[in-house]
Homo-oligomer: A and B are copies of this chain.
Amino acid sequence: MFWEEYPSFADELNNFENYFNEKLSSSNDLITQEMNRLVAAGGKRVRPALLIAVSHLGDFNKERIWPMAAAIEMIHLATLIHDDVIDKSSKRRGVETTHQKFSNKTAIFMGDFLFARSMEIILDEFGNEKIDEALLRQMKNTIKSIKLLCEGEVSQYQRQNKKIPTFKEYLEAIKRKTALLFKASTMLGADLSGMNKYKVYKMGKLGYYMGMSFQLVDDIFDFQEQNNKLGKPQNNDFTQGIYTLPIIYIYGESENQKQLDRYLEKPEKYSEEIKRIVHQKGGIEYTKQLAFRYKDKAQKIIDSYKDNKYGEIIYWLTEKIIDRNF
C-alpha cells in the first residue's frame, strides 16, 4: 500500500476516498458506475493527498478541505479522460479507458461533467453572507490553472511533429501540464487552513516544485523498456511527435542531431534506437538530475516543517515522487 508508512494518514485518505466516490455520483447511472470503475482502478490521489497534508500544517478543517481536495481530483480526472480520447489510449492504470469501453461521446461529456461537478462542489462551500476571500482567491487561481493547462495542450499540438522545443518551452509546457495543478492544490490547502500570505506563497512554490519533478519523472518513464506499471500500453510521446527533455537535451549536442533527425522521421520504426541513444547520451541522467533539483527545492521549503507529522509526510512524498512506480 502506498501510504503504509503513515497508517493514520492512510486511514484519513481511505475515508476521503469514500467521500470522493460519493461526491462523484450522478443522476445518470452510467456516469456513476463508470466513475466508480475508474476510481476503483486506483490512482494514488497525489493531488488531494498533498492538499490535505498541507492544510494540516495550518488550521485544518475537514469540512472546508475535503470538498476542495475532491474538486482538484475531479479536475485531474477530467483531464485524464479527455487526454485518453485524444491519445486514443485503450488502457490506463491497467483498466480500459472510458472512450474505449463506451464511446468518445461518453468520455468527452463525462470529462465535462467532472469539470462542472468540481465547480459545483467549490461553490457549495461559499456562504450566503460574507464572502470567503481565501476560497474565492483560490477558486480563481485553480480555474486559471485549468485555462493555462488547456492553452498549453494547444501549444503542444502546434509544436507537434515540428521542431524540437527549446528547454524553456519544455519547462513552460510541463508547468502548465502538471505543476500548476499541484501548485493550486497546495495553495488551496494553505489558504483555506488560514496560513498567512507568505506561507501560502511558499506552499504554492512547494506544490510547483513537486509538480515539476513529478512530470520530469513521468517523462523519463516514456523511455523505459516497458512501462507496464503505469498500466498504459507503450504509447510514447516521441512517437506522437511530442518531444520531452530526454530528447531535447541530447538533441542539444550537435553530434546527435543528424542521427536523431533520421530516427524521428520514423519514430515508431526506430523507437528502440531512440530510447537507446537517449539513455547512452545522458538524456535520462540529465532529466533525472533536474527532477532531483526540483525535489531539493521542494524539500528546502518543507524542511522546517519536518517536526510536524504532516510535514514529514510531505517530505516523504517529495522523495517518493522521484522514486516511484506509479
Report A's interface with B, CB cutoff 8 A.
26-28, 30-31, 78-79, 82, 85-86, 102-106, 108-113, 115-117, 119-120, 123-124, 126-131, 133, 136, 139-140, 143-144, 146-148, 150-151, 153-155, 157-158
Asked whether, in the complex, the Cβ of B133 is within 8 Å of the Cβ of A131, the reply is: no
Residues on B with C-beta less than 8 A from A78 are 112
Residue from B102, B130, B144 within 8 A of A157 (CB atoms): B102
Residue of B nearest to A79 (CB): B112
Copies of this chain, complex-wide, total: 2
Given known contacts A128-B133, A131-B129, A140-B123, is B117 in contact with A147 (CB within 8 Å)? yes
Given known contacts A109-B154, A147-B113, is B131 in contact with A126 (CB within 8 Å)? yes
Residue of B nearest to A140 (CB): B123
For the complex, give the distance between the alpha carbons of A154 and B151 in Å.
27
Asked whether, in the complex, the Cβ of B136 is within 8 Å of the Cβ of A126, the reply is: yes
Asked whether, in the complex, the Cβ of B104 is within 8 Å of the Cβ of A86, the reply is: yes
> What are 5 of the A-B contact pairs (CB < 8 Å)?
A30-B158, A105-B157, A110-B150, A117-B147, A130-B130
Q: When A and B form their complex, which 9 residue pairs have the shortest distance between CB atoms, in order from nearest?
A: A113-B150, A28-B151, A116-B147, A116-B146, A109-B153, A109-B150, A86-B105, A131-B131, A112-B150
Residues on B with C-beta less than 8 A from A126 are 131, 136
Residue of B nearest to A119 (CB): B143
Residues on B with C-beta less than 8 A from A85 are 104, 108
Residues on B with C-beta less than 8 A from A26 are 151
Residue from B105, B111, B127, B139 within 8 A of A123 (CB atoms): B139
For the complex, give the distance between the alpha carbons of A26 and B129 in Å.
34
Residues on B with C-beta less than 8 A from A131 are 126-131
Known: A86-B104, A113-B147, A126-B131. 10 other contacts (CB 8 A): A28-B151, A28-B154, A30-B157, A79-B112, A82-B112, A105-B153, A120-B140, A123-B140, A128-B131, A130-B131
Residues on B with C-beta less than 8 A from A109 are 82, 150-151, 153-154, 157
Q: How far is the CB of A309 from chain B (nearest CB, A)?
A: 35
Q: How far is the CB of A133 from chain B (nearest CB, A)?
A: 6
For the complex, give the distance between the alpha carbons of A143 and B126 in Å.
14
Residues on B with C-beta less than 8 A from A130 are 129-131
Could you say which of A26, A28, A79, A146 has the most chain B C-beta atoms within 10 Å of its C-beta?
A: A28
Asked whether, in the complex, the Cβ of A31 is within 8 Å of the Cβ of B108, the reply is: no
Asked whether, in the complex, the Cβ of B106 is within 8 Å of the Cβ of A154, the reply is: yes
Q: How far is the CB of A84 from chain B (nearest CB, A)?
A: 11
Asked whether, in the complex, the Cβ of B151 is within 8 Å of the Cβ of A103, the reply is: no
Q: How far is the CB of A255 from chain B (nearest CB, A)?
A: 34
Q: How far is the CB of A120 from chain B (nearest CB, A)?
A: 5
Residue from B113, B139, B155 within 8 A of A154 (CB atoms): B113
Residues on B with C-beta less than 8 A from A148 are 27
Q: How far is the CB of A267 from chain B (nearest CB, A)?
A: 18
Residue of B nearest to A88 (CB): B104
